[in-house]
Each structure stands twice: as structure tokens, then as C-alpha cells.
């Protein structure tokens, strides 16, 4: 394993708050740890919070990027486990937005003794439709077109995806922030992460999760339909579903009070 300081620099790790219980907050595709800022005030009085950026996102050390390692979500899960190991964390609760719900699941299955609880915010183990039994939200052709748009017109891709993800009913500055976050990521790194996120199928891993899990689902989510949240909860042996009356995929930004309160209630 890399040295402690290397890992903390690589993933731009920040520790805030004061509490016996540690929460590790993991951002979604194209985002960074800054996206958690709206729920931090609700959580930092109760918990110690570990924030980080995946390699290639935010203020991570981009020189540590390895295309092969990060061509699957397992590489990102390895980062999570290395951060936990470097900080000597135990009894961690993992809070993952979107694809990080799956990344957290992979980490928790790999080292179940590390994690007490999982919270998945708008998760999706598979974004593809498999008829008749599973509706992930996208046809394979649509996703391939979306990915090829990244090559042809990266700014156009970011400007198309941001309102879809955020939900167009939310303030323009949220959509602009998300689009800017997409654009600040190296396009080759973003493409690699996008393929690992949108073309993968981790549905079969959910049944191996041992930890009590909370799934927070947005009622109207263009990226992860309500049926996906139900599927996730039905597959995990010990899981609870909470549907939040909201539009969009980033409820930790648009509905931070409800998300923060739901996490606190679940932890207690």
C-alpha cells in the first residue's frame, strides 16, 4: 500500500467534524467532495467526516492516475479501502452518491469488518435496460451515443448531461456548477470513468452486502428511475428504502435537510 501521506495527497483527503462515529462521504461521477457541502453542517456536529476526491476528480493528485486501475469500479473501491487503511479507520459508515453507492458496496464486500453501515444516495448498480425484468433507464445505443459525444464535443456533452442529472427545475447555478465540474475533469479520465460507470453491471454483487443499508431515492430521477431503488433494496439482505419527493439525481445538494436528517436517523 502507498505511504499514508501519499494516499492523503492522492485523494485530497479532508477530515472535519467531531464524533465517535466516522462517515466517509464519496462523490459521484464528474463531481468532487465539494458537492457534499450542503449536508456537512447537519452532520459535522454528530460525526467525524472523511471527505476525498477520486483520482482525476477535484483536487486529487492527477499524476497518480492509472488508466488500467480505474477502468473498472474496483479500482475506485481500492482507493476507498486504502484511505480507510491509511487513516486506521474502523466501524465506518460509507455514504456514497450515485456510482459511489456501488463503489462503497464493492469496498464493503471486500473488507466487511471495516464498515458498519452503507447509505446509497440515488444509486444504480446498472444504468442499462434489460427487458423484461430490469429498467436501468438507458438503452445501450443511447449510452454509446452519449459516450461518443464526449469524444466529439466534450463541452456539449457536459452541457447536455448537467441539467439531465441535476433536474432542470433546480437553480441554474447548480446546473452550471455541475457542468463546470464535468468540464474541469480531463476528458480522457472522464471518459474512462464514464465507461466504468455507465456500461457496467453490478446487480449480482448486491446480495453479498452484509451491512445494514439505507437507499435514498429521488422520486423523479432521469439517471436512476424509482424502480432501480426498489431493485437495490430487494437485492440487499438488510436494506431500507426512503423515497424523497424530489426532482433530479443530486438530492444531497437540492434537498440537504432531508438527506442529512435521514442519515442521522439511520445512524441512530
Sheet strand arrangement including 213-220: 14-17, 48-51, 22-26, 92-97, 115-121, 213-220, 239-247
Q: What gap in Å lies between CA 160 and CA 138, rounded to an integer?
A: 15
pLDDT at 187: 86
Below-70 pLDDT ranges, the chain: 1
Considering the candidates 27, 46, 97, 249, report the single residue annotated as catalytic: 249
Concatenate the DSSP letters of all residues of 88-127 into one string.
Answer: T--SEEEEEETHHHHHHHHHHHHSGGGEEEEEEES--S--
pLDDT at 227: 94
Pairing of β 239-247 and β 213-220: parallel
Q: Please tell me whether residue 187 adopts helix, strand or coil conformation.
A: helix
pLDDT at 173: 87
CATH code for residues 4-267:
3.40.50.1820
pLDDT at 39: 96
pLDDT at 167: 87
Considering the candidates 98, 100, 181, 213, report the single residue annotated as catalytic: 98
pLDDT at 1: 67
Considering the candidates 213, 218, 221, 262, report the single residue annotated as catalytic: 221
98 flagged as catalytic: yes
pLDDT digits (tens, 9 = 90+) for 139-189: 999 999 999 999 899 888 888 889 889 987 777 888 898 898 888 888 899
What does pLDDT average to over the chain? 94
Amino acid at each position: 500500500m502507498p505511504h499514508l501521506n501519499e494516499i492523503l495527497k492522492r485523494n485530497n483527503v479532508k477530515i472535519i467534524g467531531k464524533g465517535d462515529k466516522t462517515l466517509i462521504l464519496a462523490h459521484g461521477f464528474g463531481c468532487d467532495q465539494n458537492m457534499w457541502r450542503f449536508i456537512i453542517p447537519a452532520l459535522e456536529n454528530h460525526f467525524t467526516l472523511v471527505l476525498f476526491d477520486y483520482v482525476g476528480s477535484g483536487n486529487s493528485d492527477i499524476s497518480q492516475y492509472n488508466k488500467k486501475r480505474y477502468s473498472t469500479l474496483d479500482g475506485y473501491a481500492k482507493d476507498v479501502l486504502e484511505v480507510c487503511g491509511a487513516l486506521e479507520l474502523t466501524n465506518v459508515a460509507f455514504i456514497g452518491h450515485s456510482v459511489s453507492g456501488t463503489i462503497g458496496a464493492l469496498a464493503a464486500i471486500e473488507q466487511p469488518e471495516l464498515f458498519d453501515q452503507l447509505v446509497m444516495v440515488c444509486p444504480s448498480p446498472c444504468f442499462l435496460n434489460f427487458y423484461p425484468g430490469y429498467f436501468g433507464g438507458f438503452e445501450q445505443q443511447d449510452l454509446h451515443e452519449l459516450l461518443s459525444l464526449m469524444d466529439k464535443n466534450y463541452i456539449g456533452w457536459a452541457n447536455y448531461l448537467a441539467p439531465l442529472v441535476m433536474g432542470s427545475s433546480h437553480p441554474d447555478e447548480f446546473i452550471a456548477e455541475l457542468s463546470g465540474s464535468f468540464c474541469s475533469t480531463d476528458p480522457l479520465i472522464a471518459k474512462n470513468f464514464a465507461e466504468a460507470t455507465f456500461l457496467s453491471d453490478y446487480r449480482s454483487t448486491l446480495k453479498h452486502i452484509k451491512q445494514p443499508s439505507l437507499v435514498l431515492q429521488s422520486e423523479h430521477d432521469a439517471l436512476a428511475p424509482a424502480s432501480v431503488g426498489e431493485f437495490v433494496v430487494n437485492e440487499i439482505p438488510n436494506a431500507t428504502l426512503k423515497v424523497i419527493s424530489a426532482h433530479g439525481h443530486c438530492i444531497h445538494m437540492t434537498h440537504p435537510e432531508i438527506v442529512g436528517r435521514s442519515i442521522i436517523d439511520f445512524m441512530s
